Every structure is written in structure tokens, then in C-alpha cells.
Amino acid sequence: MFSRIAVEQAFVNKAGITKSQSGASYRSDNKGQTSFLLNLDSKEILQLTNYYNNNFTALITKTNEATSTGKSKIVTNTKILHYRLSPVLAIGID
């Protein structure tokens, strides 16, 4: 698992959310998915998914509201994340 605040913060900021992502993380698996554990409430999840569904079709594949850790899980398509979104965010995603 990676903890790179710049990636997580850029991901939510792009959707117009300014909440700090301190302690947030993401990881990619071998099934073509990248999961983000983010500091988002249900309203912010809706804002994030609406933004990405409108601007990066098929990027977000699943969302789960906050778990016992207080983090919400956003699952994305790794190929779309790497090839379409990463250049826009101007960050490298491992």
C-alpha cells in the first residue's frame, strides 16, 4: 500500500473537494483496479463520483462510504487512471 498525500489530494482536488487527505492511501492490484482510501463523507463521495463520471467515463468502478477507519473506498480502473487521469493531475501514479 502506498501513502502519497500528493496523489490522493490531487485526486479529490480535481473534483473540487479541498478536504485534507492526510492519512489517505491508495494501492493497485493485479486485477486492473486501484483503490483509494480517502477522507470523504457521503456528500463528497457523490461530488467526486459525479465529477469523474462526467469527465473520465468508466474511471470509478465502485464506491463505499466510510469504514471503521473513517476512510471511504473509491475503486478505479487502473488503465484509465494511468493513461487518462495521471497526465491531467500532473503526477506519477505507481
pLDDT digits (tens, 9 = 90+) for 16-69: 999 999 999 999 999 999 999 999 999 999 999 999 999 999 999 999 998 788
Q: For residue 92, is pLDDT > 60?
A: no
Report if residue 94 sits inside a domain.
Answer: no
- Are the C-beta atoms of 60 and 52 separated by less than 8 Å? yes
Q: What is the pTM of this model?
A: 0.87
Domain of residue 22, CATH code: 3.10.28
Q: What string of H, E and C letters represents the secondary structure of 44-74? A: HHHHHHHHHHHHCCCCEEEEECCCCCCCEEE
With cell 467515463, the residue in question is 57
Task: Give the residue with greater pLDDT, 28 vs 5.
Answer: 28
Report if residue 58 sits inside a domain.
Answer: yes
**Which residues have a Cβ under 8 Å from the Cβ of 50 and sit 6 or more positions away?**
none
Report if residue 66 sits inside a domain.
Answer: yes
Domain that holds residue 45: 5-89
Task: Give the residue with greater pLDDT, 94 vs 51.
Answer: 51
Indicate the number of domains in the chain. Answer: 1
